Amino acid sequence: MQIIPFELRAEFITLDRLLKATGLAASGGGAKSMVADGRVQVDGRDELRKTAKLRAGQVVSLAGARIRLLPPGRAAALPALRRCHWRASIRFRRRPDDR
């Protein structure tokens, strides 16, 4: 089973955004359908809330993977493992020819 440590950048992250940010779901819609189908567990219990707020210390499990949520600054202590970071904002640039 693949274990993925995930460092939070804020107090919480929603379940659908976590699945998308870690790459376990190809899109937000795919993440929501995984949750709706009952394929995701949080702390060992089935989770059906797509936008459940997840905080540091919780563990999310699904087929073949387990995500451990870490508080900000803790992922640096795990250099040998794959680390995931979530960006709270995305910037869009306009090209000069776009109108």
Whole-structure pTM value: 0.72
Domains and CATH numbers, the chain: 2-85 (3.10.290.10)
Three-point CA angle 80, 42, 40, nearest 5°: 95
Distances (CA, A) of 2 to 7, 29, 82: 16, 23, 10
Angstrom distance (rounded) from CA 67 to CA 65: 7
pLDDT given at position 77: 54
Averages of pLDDT over runs of 10 residues in the chain (99 residues) are 91 95 93 95 95 96 94 63 45 47
Predicted local distance difference test score (pLDDT) of residue 72: 86
CB atoms within 10 A of CB 45: 7
